[in-house]
Amino acid sequence: MKRPELIARFLIVTGILLAVGAPLFLWARTPLIHARMAEDGGWNPDIIQAQVGKPLHLKITSDDVVHGFAVGQMDMQSVDILPGKVTDITLNFDKPGIYTFYCTRWCGLNHWRMRGTIEVSGSPLDPEPVSPPLYVSLDLDLDAPHEAPLIPADQPSAINGQPLTATNSITLSREDYLTHSPYDVFTELKNTSLTEEQRWDVVAYIWQSNTTSVSFANGKELYAQNCAACHGENGAGDGVFADDLAIAGESSMQSMEGAMDMVMQSPVDFTDPHRMLGASPALLQGKILRGGMGTGMPMWGSIFTEEQIWDLIAYIYSFQFEYQN
Amino acid sequence: MRPTPNTDRPTSHNLMRFHFSLLLLVTAGLVVAFAPLPAQPITPQERTFEIDAHQFAYSPSEIKVNPGDTVTIQLVSTDVVHGIYVDDYDISVEADPGQSATLTFVADKPGSFRFRCNITCGAMHPFMIGKLTVGSNNWLYRSIGLAALAVLGMTVSRKQKA
């Protein structure tokens, strides 16, 4: 072989290798994340590394049904992940830490287990001081029953409560609202000249005045997207998964008090006044933050912002009180 | 009709009778196939159906309405995200569990239409179908009538030959 021929051959081979290899190399740099139902493994991979200030490119596809992708506590629109389609997502992080990403479209009974983490490294490394949630500072036992010993005969009405609250100049600070249950406030109104029914109406009005129409609508939307499948659209604990959860509870009993666990498996009924009127917002916040310790209630602390949780709680109380539209 | 063999030539009288009955049959057939039905005045009403969607079926999977009805379908998913798309009407809605979704339309096209899941919901997703029937299936009755006429014609012609 002559030298020019050798050079030509070498050039052609190198060119072909580059033309095939370069795209392959670049493509491999962005791994494809596969989404599957939680029963089949959920997100794969479910731990992603990222850096502050560097945009994180993700390519996600679904292997079975429609899933969704969102990162908890970040203000982002959730993105649908469709089977047979690769969805590109670019994320920017301005604070280091561990973020939770989760599925946003119901993909079965264990949909909420479909979670993963993004570990974001970088500076600033001094974490902001975090105040413990209210239930910790109040030393509330989330798992003890907090029943209201006395419940109203009829549904308390904020509409009737509004003039009563004004004429008797009853006020309750935001902090007192958060730390007291409706029944506590009802008890404190003993010293007024109001009847029991009127006192409940005042409580309903106080609870309504601790949310705005925007917050309430936001809570309603969050409830529909994340809670209604188990707790039911009307809060009665009769969502489409309620029966499945009870069956799942029966088959997964591996604890000392198996029978108790089975009872705990059915979603809580928010229309039950004994339970709801004895629960303070701080207690409910704790339950939502921490989840239900083996009951199938997800842990939302890493997903919702604090504001979202208060909006949600304001909405959950509306199953007890009659509010103005 | 079968061509009659030469050995068995029908007389002119027989031929006329045969032509006459053939004409009668054809006319009856045309009437059965194309005669306009007496219009029954049906006052359109509002109907609501709750359809439960789960892997991989709808229940109920068949809904029947009258032409002109205002139909509301409330779709309730009980496992994963499902949707409903009605052929020809070209309308769709999707429902996540816990968030039922409604679809309202006026059934102004008569006939039978497939509705199908339009959200990939698992392995058997393509087979998740149902049927919307608007009005009665007149073509079915007309074709039964035509078939009966054909049988009648065959027996008559056999009898005449015998």
- CA gap A314, A206 in Å, rounded: 11
The three-class DSSP label of residue B60 is coil
Task: State residue A264's pLDDT score.
Answer: 47
CB-CB under 8 Å, B97 with A233: no
Residue of A172 and A313 predicted with greater confidence = A313
Q: Which DSSP category does B35 fall into?
A: P
Torsion angle of C-alpha atoms A226, A227, A228, A230, degrees rounded to 10: 120
Q: What is the pLDDT of residue A262?
A: 46
* A8 vs B17, higher pLDDT: A8
Please identify which residue in the block is written with the tokens 């909006």.
A311
Looking at every residue in chain A, the average pLDDT score rounds to 87
Closest alpha carbon to A241 in A249, A37, A312: A249
Number of H helices, E strands in chain B: 2, 9
Question: b/e string for A275-298 if b means 16 or more Cβ within 10 A?
Answer: bbbbbbbbbbbbbbbbbbeebbbb
Which residues in chain A have their CB less than 8 angstroms from residue B125's CB?
Answer: 65
> What residues have CB less than 8 Å from A148, skipping those under 6 apart?
A181, A182, A183, A273, A274, A275, A276, A277, A278
The SS3 call for residue A308 is helix
CA distance A234 to chain B (A): 10
Positive/negative CA dihedral, A285, A286, A287, A292: positive
Does B1 have pLDDT greater than 60?
no
pLDDT band at A296 (very low <50, low <70, confident <90, very high): confident
Please check whether residue A233 touches B, CB under 8 A. Answer: yes
Q: Which residues of B touch A239 (CB under 8 A)?
A: 97-98
Distance CA B94, CA B74 (A): 10
Q: Write the single-letter amino acid at A73.
A: Q
Mutation site, B59, B76, B96, B125, interface A, largest A CB count within 10 A: B96
SS3 content of chain A, % helix, strand, coil (to 5): 40, 15, 40
Mean pLDDT of all residues in B94-120: 92
- Give the model's pLDDT for residue B2: 55
pLDDT tens string A240-272: 888 887 777 666 555 555 554 444 468 889 999
DSSP class per residue in A91-154: E--SS-EEEEEE--S-BSTTGGG-EEEEEEE-S--SPPP-PPPHHHHTT--TTS----SS--SS
Q: CB of B69 within 8 A of CB of B111? A: no
A108 Cβ neighbours under 8 A, 6+ residues apart: A37, A38, A39, A65, B79, B80
pLDDT score recorded for residue A263? 47
Reported as a pLDDT band with limits 50, 70 and 90, residue B5 is low
Q: How many CA atoms lie within 13 A of A137 on its CB side?
A: 10
Residues 6+ positions from B23 with CB-CB distance below 8 Å: none
Of the residues B52, B99, B102, B124, the best mutation for testing chain A's interface (the one with the most A CB atoms within 10 Å of its CB) is B99
Give the count of Cβ contacts less than 8 A between chain A and B: 60
B78 touching A (Cβ < 8 Å): yes
Q: Confirm if A81 and A61 have CB atoms less than 8 A apart.
A: yes
Q: Which residue of B has its CA nearest to A221?
A: B99
Task: Check whether B147 has a pLDDT greater than 80.
Answer: yes
Task: Of A16-25, A91-100, B84-93, B152-161, give the lowest mean pLDDT range.
Answer: B152-161
B77 touches chain A (CB under 8 A): yes
Facing residue for A108 by CB, picked from B80, B100, B123: B80
Q: B96 - beta bridge partners?
A: B99
Mean pLDDT of the region A225-247: 87
Across the interface, of B76, B100, B120, the residue whose CB is closest to A65 is B120
